[in-house]
Amino acid sequence: MPTHVPPPAACSPNLKVPAYSASNSTTFSTLIPALDSSDPVALLRMVCQITCMNEQQSNELYRFDTSGALLETKLPLPRRSGKVRDVYDLGNSLLIVSTDRISAFDYILPCGIPGKGQLLTQMSSFWFEQLGMRHHLVSTEIPPSLATQFDITPLRGRVMLTEKAEVIPFECVVRGYLEGSGLKEYQATGEICGNPLPADLAQCDRLPSPIFTPATKAEEGHDENVPIERMIADFGETLAFQLRDTSLQIYSAACDYAAARGLLIADTKFEFGKVGDEIVLIDEVLTPDSSRFWAADNYCPGQAQASFDKQFVREWLSQCGWDKQSGPPALPTEVIEQTAAKYQEAYDRLTA
């Protein structure tokens, strides 16, 4: 995974390093030919200068925390950012960069989970191929044209080049088990998003059949769980029922695949967009950030389950005294390491 490496001590602090931009990126190939190869001191000074310039470039383009987690990218391209991803407009396509940011209780935490972005990218790519549905992913390779403009090393393994799609502003949530916000709504009303359920279900019970529980996509704060009638009002029956049926089909196929590898998918969310007249699967799919994975051999309804996601993060934040109204605290090292290990285990078990 990428780390933030300081320049060699041999770089003189008196060297004047020009500000980096995509147009004046400096490489050995552009400067070395101008040197007199018989002057080793000048050659050494130039090597140090290039190293320092590349370091300054990385400082401007990428922000890491002390653990080496990539928290932010600032490429010289049009950008918008979400909780985890930085999305760049390449004109006819999008470059989606999965950082190592992690969020909980609608806050982005001040520290990241090293390697998380690579795992999310690899897992989404795996599922896009596995499911065989029309999706937006074109490639996980960095476009060669970008490599000539700036340092792409921290991007390796964490990018998706995708088609542009008109986003349908609903999260298509499917639940097969009773947990999370669905559990709270059930305990209050006996149903979830208009789906009536049997009485006396316990926490984490398997539902009689998976249910579709869409949610609005909030720019800030909580997404709102809504009945399918809300989708129908916004987009009509044809599209709403198509999204429902497609979401349930994907969930069912993914559950069968995961079950053969000892995992339960308690719930997940999908996002869709339009490319022309086609409905395509977009964003991430079936990752620990968008889904709740449980180990089948440890499944015990009536209580919370050990999850392959940011459970350690949520539990620590709930117990550390944070009021969930102000900026969140940094995570201790052991919570970061446990969370990283769970993400890795989920990926390893699913792709084995």
* Residues 159 and 235 grouped into a single domain: no
What is the mean pLDDT of the segment spanning 68-94? Answer: 97
Q: What is the pTM of this model?
A: 0.83
Any idea what the CATH number is for the domain that residue 304 is in? 3.30.470.20
Percent of the chain with pLDDT over 90: 79
Quick one: pLDDT band at residue 23, thresholds 50, 70, 90?
very low
* The pLDDT of residue 16: 28
**Mean pLDDT, rounded, for 335-342:** 95
The verdict on 171 and 290 lying in the same domain is yes
Domain check: are 110 and 148 in the same one? yes
The number of distinct structural domains making up the chain is 2
Residue 158 lies in a domain: yes
3-state secondary structure 111-174: CCCCCHHHHHHHHHHHHHHHHCCCECEEECCCCHHHHCCCCCHHHCCCEEEEECCEECCEEEEE
Q: Write out pLDDT tens, residues 157-210.
A: 999 999 999 999 999 999 999 999 999 999 999 999 999 999 999 999 999 999
User: If you compute the radius of gyration of the chain from its CA atoms, what whole number of angstroms results?
Assistant: 23
The band of 311, judged by pLDDT with boundaries at 50, 70 and 90, is confident
278 domain residue, yes or no: yes
Asked if pLDDT for residue 296 goes beyond 60, the answer is: yes
Q: Verify that 275 and 189 share a domain, yes or no.
A: yes
pLDDT in tens, 210-266: 999 999 976 665 678 999 999 999 999 999 999 999 999 999 999 999 999 999 999
Six-digit token pair at 338?
């446990």
∠ CA 78-89-153, nearest 5°, is 85
Residues 177 and 270 in one domain: yes
Of 163, 186, 217, which one is at a domain's C-terminal end? 163
- Do both 211 and 147 map to the same domain? no
Give exposure, 223-252, as e/b (b: 16+ Cβ within 10 Å): bebbbbebbeeeeeeebbeebbebbbebbe
Instruction: Check residue 109 and report its DSSP letter.
Output: -
Within a domain: 343: no
Tracing tokens 């308690």 back to the chain, one arrives at 266
Q: Assess whether 274 and 183 both reside in one domain.
A: yes
**Residue 159 backbone dihedrals phi, psi, to 5 degrees:** -120, 150
- Asked whether the predicted pLDDT for residue 334 surpasses 90, the reply is yes
Q: How far is CA 45 from CA 21, 41, 91, 229, in A?
A: 22, 6, 40, 68
DSSP state letter for 307: B
* Chain centroid offset of residue 326 CA: 23
Look at residue 106 in the predicted model and tell me its pLDDT. 86
Task: State the pLDDT at residue 47.
Answer: 53
Query: pLDDT class for 19, splitting at 50, 70, 90?
Result: very low
Q: Domain range holding 237?
A: 166-309
